Amino acid sequence: MNAVLETRALSKSFGAVVAAAEIDLVVGEREVIGVIGANGAGKTTFINMVTGYLRPSGGSIRFRGRDITGLPPRQVVRAGICRSFQVSQLFRELTVLDNMLIALGMLREGALSWLAPLHTRAREDEARKVLERYTIERYADSRVATLPQGVRKLLDIAMATVSEPPLLLLDEPTSGVAAEEKFALMDTVMAPVRASGAACLFVEHDMEIVERYSARVIAFYDGRILADGPTAETLTDPEVRKYVIGAELHRDREAGCSK
């Protein structure tokens, strides 16, 4: 299996605070990997380093054999790594279609996208095809501010995948989505990912989602990888159950008590 992403001794410190330490990781083609860990464990720091939003303090990142350590986000996207965010990064007062057209414009024209016409027949057709792929084409003319949370999540992910990247990173894709909708949302997300042959890492606190959709799980704790292996094996690891899953159960109970 060829490596899509490889990190070696990847680290990030903020003064005396170590947010990520010595992260060694290899992601193969077509792998779907769940990333788990309590808040502050280093998951999002890792994703931010890979996608260029944080410059590593040490170590290296290689994508398809190319060193991309420290590249800014736009160059990382052009290399072939795309991401979604825990909080959707959308233009709330524009329509779903306009958001998708902006994403396509940034892909095609980059920094000069503001000079190009937003609406062309070819680009609209392309945008609608992506919306159809994620089953949200019926919302094309709706303002983003009026959409249910699940639809916003799907739009954010659809915009992240317009370039059909070889590697997709999803930061808590089911966060804020109703419990009865979470599996349908993940089914919708994973179908085009698998069809495209992309590798995917998704950060998730919901262990049901992790168990159902990932073949491999990476558990973070205290800025380091605590365990990395097949899903069932990792989720039953005693240290993972103590430091990660136990922390998540405590987090869920606290959330339930606050409602």
What was the pLDDT predicted at 248? 61
What was the pLDDT predicted at 112? 42
pLDDT tens digit sequence for 201-210:
999 999 999 9
Q: Is the pLDDT of residue 178 over 80?
A: yes
Residues 259 and 173 in one domain: yes
Give the pLDDT mean for 65-85: 92
Q: Is the pLDDT of residue 64 over 60?
A: yes
In angstroms, rounded to a whole number, what is the distance separating the alpha carbons of residues 156 and 90? 7
Residues 181 and 75 in one domain: yes
Q: Where are the beta strands (DSSP E) in the chain?
A: 3-14, 17-28, 32-36, 58-63, 66-67, 81-83, 167-171, 199-203, 216-221, 224-230
In angstroms, rounded to a whole number, what is the distance separating the alpha carbons of residues 89 and 112? 20
Q: Is the pLDDT of residue 161 over 90?
A: no
Residue at a domain's end among 139, 164, 189: 164
Residue at a domain's end among 164, 185, 217: 164
51-85 as b/e: b if 16+ CB within 10 A: bbebebeebebbbbeeebbebeeeebbebbbbbbb
Residues 27 and 72 in one domain: yes
Domain assignment of residue 180, given as a range: 1-80+166-259
Q: Is the pLDDT of residue 34 over 90?
A: yes
Residues 150 and 173 in one domain: no
Residues 182 and 154 in one domain: no
In angstroms, rounded to a whole number, what is the distance separating the alpha carbons of residues 148 and 28? 34
Neighbour count for residue 153 (Cβ, 10 Å):
30
Residue at a domain's end among 112, 131, 164: 164
Asked if 215 and 29 touch (Cβ cutoff 8 Å), the reply is: no
Residues 71 and 93 in one domain: no
Residues 176 and 67 in one domain: yes
pLDDT tens digit sequence for 100-155:
998 888 776 554 444 455 667 888 999 999 999 999 999 999 999 999 988 999 99
SS3 for 206?
A: coil
Percentage of the chain modeled with pLDDT above 90: 71
Residues 22 and 150 in one domain: no
Q: Which of 164, 162, 158 is nearest to 196 (CA)?
A: 164
As given in the structure block, the two tokens for residue 137 are: 């084409």
Asked if 76 and 51 touch (Cβ cutoff 8 Å), the reply is: yes
Give the pLDDT mean for 58-84: 94
Residues 172 and 67 in one domain: yes
Percentage of the chain modeled with pLDDT above 70: 88
Residues 75 and 142 in one domain: no
Instruction: Please tell me the pTM assigned to this model.
Output: 0.85
CATH number at residue 183: 3.40.50.300
